[in-house]
A and B are shown apart, each in its own frame.
Chain A
Amino acid sequence: MEFSYEVKDSYAEVKADGRLNMVSAPKLREFVTDVIAGASNRIVVNLENTAFMDSSGLGALIGCLKAARQAGGDLRIAAVQPQVKMVLQLTSMDKVLTAYGSAEEAFSDD
């Protein structure tokens, strides 16, 4: 699992490459918290290269969403792969988070 981020005009794009599971989930949480504190409270998590996500990974995303909101910003997700989409539906998390086609689209309305 590899995390990286890039600051764009109105948001920071976080990339989570690899398998986002119970082992890497806490690390994502930590990473995003640092980005919120250091770069931007508007976060797009780009899941383009996230081949697999489990419920712990999703749980970490909720934690990140909460952190971003508490900092006065927001967190959005983009470019989800089929397996991730399935997990989102299975847990009904798609009712909470919209999966955007690409990172650029995520904050385009705001």
Chain B
Amino acid sequence: MSRFLTRLVVVLTVITGVNYIAWRWLASLNWDAWWIAVPLVIAETYSLIDVMLFGMTVWKLKIRKGAPPPPHDATVDVFITTYNEDLDMVMTTALAAQRIRHPHSTWILDDGARPELKTLAEEHGLGYVTRSEDWTSNLPRHAKAGNLNNALMQTHGEFLLILDADQIPEPDILEKTLGYFNNRRVALVQTPQYFSNVPADDPLGSQAPLFYGPIQQGKDGWNAAFFCGSNAILRREALMQLGLVGYVKETEKSIRRALAASRSAIKQARKSADMETPLVAKVLDEVEEATREAQQELDAGGALSEITYRVRRRVDAAVQTLVMADVEALQADLEEIAAMELAHVGEAGVPVVADDAVQRMSARDWSPLGALESVQAVLDALSVERNDEAQPVMPLATISVTEDMATAMRMHAMGWASVYHHEILAYGLAPEDLKTMLTQRLRWAQGTIQVFLRENPLVQRGLKLGQRLMYFATMWTYLSGYAAVVYFAAPIIYLLLGILPVTSLSWDFFIRFIPFMLVNQLLFAVAGRGIPTWRGQQYSLALFPTWIKACSTAARNVWFGRPLGFAVTPKARQSGGPSWSLIQPQITVSVLLAVAAVVGIIRLANGLAEPLGTLVNVAWVIFDLVVMSILVRAVLYKGYEPAAEAVVLINTERNPDGV
């Protein structure tokens, strides 16, 4: 019944929505004010697509009845990832993890490599993992994804439970979830992220009941529930498979790129001064021949390991022969000199070039090729060792700061299945100040946009249409910042200047707009089944500067290689007085809205504006201000105060800048 009702409201939403937006595009645009009319209709279209994707999500909402009993012999590693969190917090989580009932090994993955934590882990019989010596300082560390990838190489459980340092698990978390893996296709079981240090009114919007509820349940129905970084169980085999596929893909890409670059590198090297030496010229001929052959073999489908091996052997042999010739010439010279100055040589005899000279001089650092950097770079890239990464096999995706979503999408593309288990099985700690919260939201948004730009789900091979749209839906929501700006601008422009983006506010408008608006709200109420969604709606509009910043920084990062962190949330006190500077853009917009409303009413009183337009726009302003009002509470929020118990483990500094 509930499912029928949801679907009915979805259908009504689509009908009323398309009816309204089609009318907006076809019959209502005020072309005289196109500069606001067109952005507004685009923003409204954006919102319609957003709600249609939401409708599609909840269309297949899946309510699971719990997992079958777990296979008793399943081996599990529990990973607790930490970087610089408070040691008490890490240990509380680790000890709770140790108490999980299903047999398992618990590991603290300490990216901070803190000796105190190592000692604590040993005292309590917990596993302790830090980066292996492969992670030298010149190689990318890939933050949490790197931490997990490193640990995967040092452990061997069949399944992995991943917990952030603050997520205290229930003892039955594995018993309740492992059974899903009886289905051999299941690679991931995600459970909700819930925070225990959040008051009922949730001023920072930390709980995400709509996401860890109808949205993930809906995605689950499309086999697209995705990994959210913590409180999830993963199948090692699926992760390793991703790592292997990624390794082959990256290796092939790097070899193709190197071969494509080889021609110009050799040409450039030929122009350089070293060409005076015939030896270098000959080696270059040999390199050119070897790369040409490699290209042919690659095109013929040869195995990468052999292609690269042959290039290396051939170039090494050439270098060696030529160096040998040089050394022999040198030896001959020495002997000649000795013959001429026989009298002076005496007992020592003819000087001899050291035996290992050829080998030494052929080695990379001494080789005549060493001087030709561009050629050497090509030869280095013609390898299967993936020397630009600490490990050739990187199971968790490293294309984004939110490794979780990218990894899940790749799993789905490989044909694996995922499960969303809707039951709180771990309790975490949410940020308790606005600054930390904003930094965290910015990161999530940046990561999502990175994935969107690097591996757009709409064009990923292997994903089903429904899965593509489910991933796309999440990415789409993060574009809301741009729509929000237009939604704030339109009433300000009308109230101040009297410019209306629609041709008229008449019966035609209301008869289309109001049903859509009402059915839209009804959809959230029905799909949400009474869960509070208002906070989430407020923040999706009110954090528009964060969303815009996320989109622009992620785009600059993906397209121009600029670091993401160059525009972090401005510094502000984490404790102490309220930090209004964090929401400066929102304050500016709110003041403009309020001023516009007053001006609009004055204009109306003086007969400069029409009553209906003013009424609609003042109502719109009031709605916008109510939405933004949450930020006032967020700034004034002083952190969680539990009713009676002592404040344990509450630490406002656990999320540092730019992590």
Contacts and interface: CB of A to CB of B under 8 A. Distances in A.
Contact of A65 (B248, B249, B384): B384
B306 A22 contact: no
Contacts of B393: 59, 62-63
A1 interface: no
A108 interface: no
Contacts of A70: 385
A98 B385 contact: no
A37 interface: no
B243 A74 contact: no
Interface residues of A, number: 28
B459 interface: no
Contacts of A33: none
Interface in A36-75: 54-56, 58-59, 62-63, 65-66, 69-70, 74-75
A70 B383 CA distance: 10
A28 to B, nearest CB: 12
A98 B243 contact: no
A95 B256 CA distance: 13
Given A25-B156, A110-B313, A54 B384 contact: no
A91 B414 CA distance: 10
A92 B384 contact: no
A101 B385 CA distance: 24
B252 interface: yes
Given A22-B156, A55-B237, A62-B393, A95 B309 contact: no
Contacts of A93: 244, 248
Contacts of A26: 153-154, 156
A62 B247 contact: yes
A91 B241 contact: yes
B304 interface: yes
Given A55-B240, A55-B244, A91-B245, A69 B304 contact: no
Contacts of A56: 156, 236-237, 240
B309 A74 contact: yes
Nearest to A99: B303
B244 A65 contact: no
A97 interface: yes
Nearest to A63: B392
A59 B155 CA distance: 13
Nearest to B393: A59
Contacts of A69: 309, 383-385
Nearest to B236: A22
A78 B385 CA distance: 20
B251 interface: yes
A66 B385 contact: yes
Contacts of B313: 110
Nearest to A88: B244
A4 to B, nearest CB: 22
Given A56-B156, A69-B384, A110-B313, A96 B303 contact: yes
A23 B156 contact: yes
Nearest to B156: A22
B158 interface: yes
A90 B244 CA distance: 10
A64 to B, nearest CB: 11
A94 interface: yes
Contact of A96 (B153, B158, B243, B304): B304
A22 B159 CA distance: 11
A95 B243 CA distance: 15
Nearest to B312: A69
A58 B393 CA distance: 10
A76 B247 CA distance: 17
B303 A92 contact: no
A59 B384 CA distance: 13
B305 interface: yes
Contacts of A110: 309, 313
27 contacts: A22-B236, A22-B237, A23-B156, A26-B154, A55-B237, A55-B244, A56-B236, A58-B244, A59-B244, A62-B247, A62-B392, A63-B393, A66-B385, A66-B386, A74-B305, A91-B244, A91-B245, A91-B248, A92-B245, A93-B248, A95-B248, A96-B247, A96-B248, A96-B304, A97-B303, A97-B305, A98-B306
Interface of A: 22-23, 25-26, 54-56, 58-59, 62-63, 65-66, 69-70, 74-76, 90-98, 110
